[in-house]
């Protein structure tokens, strides 16, 4: 029978691209990750990795196995949740991820209600950008997260993650006058940090309006 821990390493390699990145995310050594993946190849009896210099690439068989692994891990998590629901009281640590602007209006009332109803829970809150949430959930540094999804930046379907809509809001552009978006193409903009979801939304909204934002010059 295949080892779930080794399958998880293969899945992480598919998402992160390098053995070094997998080792750093899961606090292993690169040699330990390589040894586990080699052992998984022996267990499956088929090549899973193609080595090109210092890099590795997943074979078609490995990609099929990764897809199955997502379903396997999801089933195991559901089983854990069902077992927990049979307990008379909820206890243990619940690690929650949230984007900063949702803390005062959405998360704080929920945390107060949850800690009142289930005093045995130890609630740990981490502020992070929604773009970082999928990796945090996969590496199990979070149990649940509150994220955003914009029309211009839809979230790709992920078989290893389960999502539930909470509410819808309108995104507003804060400006001194009511000029249309296209009239502001030459104005200075304040946007999110590159690599964040808010920054991606700004770029996509401008592109949809027919213009591109200019990147600021590098700092010296």
Q: Which pLDDT score is estimated for 217? A: 52
Strand order of the β-sheet with 144-146 is 121-127, 92-98, 144-146
Pairing of strands 144-146, 55-58: unpaired
Is there a contact between 58 and 28 (Cβ–Cβ < 8 Å)?
no
Report residues of the chain scoring pLDDT below 70: 85, 87-88, 214-220
Among residues of the chain, what percentage have pLDDT more than 90? 27
| pLDDT tens, residue by residue, 94-121 | 999 999 889 998 999 999 999 998 888 8
Looking at residue 10, what is its pLDDT? Answer: 92
Contact between 155 and 163 under an 8 Å Cβ cutoff? The reply is yes
C-alpha 12/C-alpha 142 separation (Å) is 16
- Check residue 65 and give its pLDDT: 92
Residue 139: strand pairing partners: none
Q: What is the pLDDT of residues 194-205, one digit of tens each?
A: 888 888 888 888
pLDDT at 88: 63
Domains of the chain as residue ranges with CATH: 4-82 (1.10.10.10), 96-168 (no CATH), 170-220 (no CATH)
What integer pLDDT is reported at residue 38 of this predicted model? Answer: 92
pLDDT in the model for residue 189: 83
C-alpha distances in Å from residue 214, one per residue of 131, 153, 169, 170: 22, 19, 28, 25
pTM listed for this prediction: 0.60
> 3-class secondary structure for the chain?
CCCHHHHHHHHHHHHHCCHHHHHHHHCCCHHHHHHHHHHHHHHHCCCCEEEECCEEEECHHHHHHHHHHHHHHHHHHHHHHHHHHCCCCCCEEEEEEECHHHHHHHHHHHHHHHHHHCCCEEEEEEECCHHHHHHHHHCCCCCEEECCCECCECCCCCCCCCCCCCCCCCCCCCCCCCCCHHHHCCCCCCCCCCCCHHHHHHHHHHHHCCCCCCCCCCCC
């Amino acid at each position: 029978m295949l080892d779930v821990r080794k399958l998880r390493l293969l899945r992480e390699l598919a998402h992160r691209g390098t053995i070094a990145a997998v080792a750093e995310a899961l606090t292993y050594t690169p040699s330990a990750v390589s040894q586990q993946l080699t052992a998984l190849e022996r267990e499956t009896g088929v090549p899973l990795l193609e080595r090109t210099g210092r890099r590795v690439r997943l074979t078609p068989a490995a990609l099929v196995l990764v897809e199955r692994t997502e379903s396997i891990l999801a089933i195991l998590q559901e089983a854990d949740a069902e077992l927990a629901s049979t307990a008379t009281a909820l206890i243990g640590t619940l690690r929650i991820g949230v984007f900063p602007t949702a803390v005062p209006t959405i998360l704080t009332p929920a945390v107060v209600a949850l800690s009142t109803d289930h005093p045995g829970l130890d609630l740990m809150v981490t502020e992070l950008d929604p773009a970082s949430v999928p990796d945090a959930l996969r590496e199990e540094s979070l149990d649940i997260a509150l994220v955003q999804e914009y029309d211009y930046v839809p979230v790709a379907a992920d078989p290893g993650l389960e999502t539930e809509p909470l509410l819808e809001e309108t995104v507003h552009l804060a400006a001194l006058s009511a000029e249309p978006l296209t009239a502001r193409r030459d104005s200075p903009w304040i946007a999110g940090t590159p690599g964040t979801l808010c920054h991606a939304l700004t770029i996509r909204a401008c592109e949809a309006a027919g213009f591109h934002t200019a990147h600021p010059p590098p700092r010296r």
